[in-house]
Amino acid sequence: MNFLKSRANKSTLRPVKKHATAKRSTLSAYTKRTLGSGNLRAAVTLPDNEDLNEWLAANTVDFFNEISLLYGLVSDDAAKYTKAGDGFPPGFEYRWADGVQVTKPMRVSSPEYVDLVLLWTEDQINNEDIFPVSETQAFPSEFKNYVKDIFKRLFRIFAIIYHRHFATIEKLDAAAHLNTCFKHFMFFILEFGLVDEKEMKALKGPCDRMVEEYKKQST
């Protein structure tokens, strides 16, 4: 995380989101320790005797922080995409709608799309009706659906970075970190079924390899 902070564009860098409860902070620390041991499969597995929603919530915040910082590395490069429909993976155009303020999908450029996704995700995380701030407060019954919507859009940011900004990532010597973060993200979404296969077509080759590796480590 500190590696990314030192290189990210300060004008677009968002403050790191903190965990709302001690439980989620503990789960986040557990993930970091497990990742540090090199056991990626164990890092995504729900720990024994832990609540699934708490695990999903903790990881949602951590992935949001990582992806926000990763995109901060390429935000200057992204500024060249100024027209609606520009800067997306080949054959794809992500349009923005939040279902509340914007109900009809709106054409935007890729940097506009990413900014809208990050702002919207932050709003979701800050919404106490979705992400409770007390361990005695229940998660909404449809919490996993909220998480799936977030992870779908975070996946799209990865797709944009890989297709349009990977050369910049390499120049910054951040490719290894990006690849590790994406692998962790993929293992997590595969573990809990958070992103549909049709979304993965934007990164078909890498995703196919991750699926095979995940299956091998699961046997």
Q: What is the pLDDT of residues 48-86, one digit of tens each?
A: 999 999 999 999 999 999 999 999 999 999 999 999 999
User: 42-46, 127-131, 134-138, 168-172: lowest mean pLDDT where?
Assistant: 134-138
More confident residue, 41 or 170: 170
What's the CATH code, domain 2-218? 1.20.140.30
Which pLDDT score, from 0 to 100, does residue 14 have?
Answer: 62
Which residues sit opposite 106 in a β-bridge?
Answer: 96
Which pLDDT score, from 0 to 100, does residue 38 have?
Answer: 80
CB 148 within 8 A of CB 195: yes
Token pair of 204 as six digits: 């078909």
In this structure, which long-range contacts are made by residues 116-121, counting pairs with CB atoms below 8 Å and at least 24 apart in sequence? 117/153, 117/154, 117/156, 117/157, 118/14, 118/64, 118/67, 118/68, 118/71, 118/157, 120/153, 121/64, 121/150, 121/153, 121/154
Which residues, other chains included, contact 56 with Cβ-Cβ below 8 Å and sequence gap of 6+? 143, 144, 147, 192
Which pLDDT score, from 0 to 100, does residue 31 have?
Answer: 95
Which pLDDT score, from 0 to 100, does residue 5 have?
Answer: 44
Q: What are the boundaries of each domain within the chain? A: 2-218
DSSP 105: -
Single-letter amino acid, residue 164: R
Which pLDDT score, from 0 to 100, does residue 105 have?
Answer: 93
89 alpha-carbon distance from chain centroid: 17
More confident residue, 211 or 102: 211
More confident residue, 6 or 31: 31
**Nearest of 32, 20, 122 to residue 68 by alpha carbon:** 122
